[in-house]
A and B are shown apart, each in its own frame.
Chain A
Amino acid sequence: MNAISKTSLDLTRIRADFPILAEKIRGKDLVFLDSAASAQKPRVVIDAMVHAMEHQYANIHRGLHWMSERTTEAYEETRDSVARLMNAPDRRNIVFTRNSTEAFNLVALSYGRSVLQPGQAVVISEMEHHANIVPWQMLRDATGIELRIAPITDAGEIDMLAYEAMLADGRVGLVSITHMSNVLGTYTPAQRIIEIAHRNGAKVMLDGSQSIVHRRIDVQALDVDFFAWTGHKLYGPTGIGVLYAKAELLERMPPVMGGGDMISTVTYQNSTWAEVPHKFEAGTPAIIEGIGLNAAIKYVESIGYDAIAAHEAALTDHALARLSVIDGLTIMGRPQDRGGVVSFTLEGAHAHDVATLLDRQGIAVRAGHHCAQPLMQRLGVDSTARASFGIYTTLAEIDVLADTLDHVRTFFK
């Protein structure tokens, strides 16, 4: 790949950290533009997980032997790393889940069914992932809590006036909104969303599944109440995600699942819960994955969010410039503050056909509804193709995409 790019990152070095990027697809270089679905893993993550299994593994929180103690330390160190990454006040603010989806379900099942009362409302937006829609729908159907949908503008931004009006009656107990759309790339104005919600007596949960990949998250500066993300998009393993929540909220919330690890004492009459955050972590967790996530966090920290964010901006600008001049190509949304996700349609070619042709050239994009069917409806499309970027993405790869799309268009003409 030619010179890699004029962005702020040493991409030759970074790309060498990701073994999979050396793979060929039908003899062609892999051009991986599907990081928003799941990111590739650097060597340090792979090694940390293998090392754990080869040298330092036992169940955690329960053994008194050397292996268990060392493994517990390694796993719990990840909680410290997560707290540091998000600037959480304390490691006890960090609950491990399987992924973002589980974090939303946990809050809906616990906070939603105990603290929220029938007659109160939950606000989500028109550009949510299904993970931040369905748990609230299930809550609505089970408890009679109202679900309100904050509209987006045609540019693909939250309609802030409509959002504010939606909270005016004081009945909204919780706002749960994406911090960065996985379809449009829109960064939402989290600070304002939170201020408005708090002024109207509502708590806020942010879906940081995409945002934490590219931008520094400071949960204290944001004053956000809940923040969810998922390890596999941040160059970590699958099977581990994070729910950050303010301490007083976690204290008030009942556990959702019962079993080992989440209890203090158990008798047949009753049981008492372990301290926060462990009362939300029933059963043996994803130990190896937790250890892998720690390596991913340290890797991201070693590069630094300033450089990561600058790289994302350079890639996004380049992609918008190259793609927008392709005949018949329409880019979804035009938000002011936009990250490394670009969804598009190509006149005369369905997104699946586009993806199949790109795949033939080794280019991996996602095509479909991106787990956001209501948003697709709002945009008036059935499906789009989506290119998304990671720290290892190069400007040259975006050029390959743009050049190939020109040929795709000719093919279907």
Chain B
Amino acid sequence: MMFEDLRDLYQDVILDRGRTPRHGRRLDVFDADAKGDNPMCGDRVQVFVRHDGASVAAVGFEARGCAISIASADMMADAVIGHTDAEITAMAAGFAGMARSGESHVPALQALRPLAGVHEYPSRIKCATLPWVALAAALAGTDAHKGVASSE
């Protein structure tokens, strides 16, 4: 079949999550959020985070972008729930490394391995890392009012 050789990039889980993300919505209640923008290609994502004590209890996102960026945002949400901000910041760095090199030895990132295929497509690496950049910004910006849930 045509594109069989693209399966390393578009694995089933990516096609599935890109099409029907589980976390693709704005949270009703959140205490941190941030936007990510890739001006080169017009991808946009806004990430919403709700903490429960020290760890993240829920993540949601609204995104306009390609299958890779949406799948990445959705899989990121799964991966970070239950982790503290410090852990998530380390995961974000680990994920960026995996997207660039294709390698990862971080156990917490195992479920995200299907996204490592982007490392062979330099123009697509940013698609995968954009949600993580937004999440890191959300967590960094939230320090001042952590615990004060804002809602809309």
Contacts and interface: CB of A to CB of B under 8 A. Distances in A.
Contacts of A349: 67
A368 interface: yes
Given A353-B66, A356-B9, A412-B67, A369 B41 contact: yes
Contacts of A348: 19
Given A407-B2, A412-B15, A382 B42 contact: yes
A411 interface: yes
A411 B19 contact: no
Given A369-B42, A383-B42, A412-B15, A350 B66 contact: yes
Contact of B42 (A356, A368, A412): A368
Contacts of A353: 10, 18, 66-68
Given A352-B124, A369-B42, A411 B10 contact: yes
Interface residues of B, number: 22
Given A369-B42, A376-B42, A382-B43, A352 B127 contact: yes
A271 B67 CA distance: 59
Nearest to B121: A356
A51 to B, nearest CB: 35
B65 A350 contact: yes
Interface string A378-413: 000011000000000000000000001001100110
A356 B122 CA distance: 11
Contacts of A350: 65-67
Contacts, number: 54
Contacts of B6: 356-357, 360, 411
A87 interface: no
Contacts of B41: 352, 367-369, 383
Contacts of A382: 42-44, 64-65
A368 B40 contact: yes
Nearest to A384: B42
Interface string A120-147: 0000000000000000000000000000
Interface string B1-31: 0110110011000010011000000000000
A386 to B, nearest CB: 13
A408 B43 CA distance: 20
* Majority secondary structure of chain A interface residues (helix, strand, loop or mixed): helix
Contacts of A352: 41, 43, 65-66, 68, 124, 127
Given A350-B67, A352-B127, A360 B5 contact: yes
Counting chain A residues whose Cβ lies within 8 A of the other chain, the interface size class is 20 to 34
A5 interface: no
A361 interface: yes
A346 to B, nearest CB: 12
Contacts of A68: none
A373 interface: yes
A72 to B, nearest CB: 40
Contacts of B64: 382
Given A368-B40, A412-B15, A360 B3 contact: yes
A356 B66 CA distance: 11
Contacts of A407: 2-3
Contact of B124 (A356, A369, A373): A356
Nearest to B64: A382
A404 B40 CA distance: 25
A353 B65 CA distance: 10
A404 B2 contact: yes
Given A376-B42, A383-B42, A411 B3 contact: yes
Interface of A: 348-353, 356-357, 360-361, 367-369, 373, 376, 382-383, 404, 407-408, 411-412
Given A353-B18, A353-B66, A369-B41, 4 more contacts: A360-B6, A367-B41, A382-B42, A382-B44
* A-B pairs with lowest CB-CB distance, top 5: A350-B66, A352-B66, A382-B42, A383-B42, A407-B2
20 contacts: A350-B65, A351-B66, A352-B65, A352-B68, A352-B127, A356-B6, A356-B121, A357-B3, A357-B6, A360-B5, A367-B41, A368-B40, A368-B42, A376-B42, A382-B43, A383-B42, A407-B3, A411-B3, A412-B15, A412-B19
